Amino acid sequence: MRWFDSWAEDQRDVIHDPQEVDWLRVVPFVLLHGACLLVFVVGWSPIALSVAIAFYALRMFAITAFYHRYFSHRAFQTSRPMQFLFAVLGSSAMQRGPIWWASHHRAHHRYSDQESGDSHSPIHEGFWWSHVGWILSRGSFRPKFEMIRDWTRFPELRFLDRFDVLVPSLFLVAFYFLGEWAGAAGYGTSAAQMVVWAFCVSTIATYHVTFSINSVAHRSGSRSYDTADNSRNNTLLSLLTFGEGWHNNHHRYPGSARQGFHWWQVDFTYYLLVMMEALGLIWGLKPVPERIIQEGRFR
């Protein structure tokens, strides 16, 4: 039940060390990393690699635009169907459900790099804890419900969050049959190859690029703003995460839909959000106040 129902009660989460890794729950996480080694068995093909890159981009946008800027910070508004659609796409990245993700991120902002409260500070707990250790620990397994009451009123979001294994499993099966069809149609791939590249490799890449914002972006980069935490702007991470690497900017003014505050700070997520607003799919994109931009320029 603890594999399929992430809200299942487990008293060991309370009585054990909250930083203890729950190995039973993280078996899929470990197996997914191991499955990437199968690229040496199944080989590669242009179509499998192309689908893997496209799925990485789609899920990265779902995480950065909706899990982060929408669910965590309410930086824009959208309809309930669009909210559900991108909650499903975000869930496919195997970074848990939107309620869990946003609740821990809000705690990160409230207690950023403090000795207690921040789930993944590299300053006090070390690099590897901030990168992957925290997400595997007992203490971080359940959502912080006190941080997220605005979203728990939606039953569809509660369902996605509670049964967070469902959406990734459906995508895995879909890629299996896509590979079967593409192979039979003469595209030079197979079911196994499509699953390994489009699902396993793409998911692991999405994992570690996203996790690097917690670890690397609090250690390496520049600081445009004198925030109370150790957040940094990192250009390489900004490109890989479609704009999330402007992390010091974000910690100075987290309510903005835009994290690249200046024209030269590339923020692909924001550009796509502007396009979605033009199409009427979202609205109310919150801007960066001019005083904040000028403060960064002056520093």
Is residue 98 within 8 A of residue 91, CB to CB? The reply is: yes
Paired sense of beta strands 282-283 and 77-78, if any: antiparallel
Distance separating alpha carbons of residues 278 and 273, to the nearest angstrom: 9
Nearest partner of 78 among 272, 283, 258, judged by Cα: 283
Take residue 85 and report the two structure tokens written for it: 């659609």
From residue 7, how far is each of 96, 99, 274 by CA, in Å? 11, 11, 36
Q: What is the pTM of this model?
A: 0.94
| Structural tokens at position 276 | 């979605």
CA distance 273 to 159: 26
Tell me the residue type at 50. Answer: S
3-state secondary structure 265-280: CCCHHHHHHHHHHHCC
Q: What per-residue confidence (pLDDT) applies to 79?
A: 98
pLDDT for res 10: 61
CA 298 to CA 47: how far, in whole Å? 48
What does the pLDDT read at residue 3?
A: 77
Characterize 256-274 residue by residue with b for buried, 16 or more Cβ atoms within 10 angstroms of its Cβ, and e for exposed.
bbbbbbeeebbbbbbeebe
User: Which residue reads 């670890």 in tokens?
Assistant: 215
Q: Please give the pLDDT value at position 11.
A: 56
Ranges of the chain whose pLDDT falls below 50? none
pLDDT at 18: 74
Tell me the C-alpha to C-alpha distance, in Å, between residue 44 and each of 37, 40, 54, 136, 227: 12, 9, 15, 31, 45
Longest dimension (CA), the chain: 60
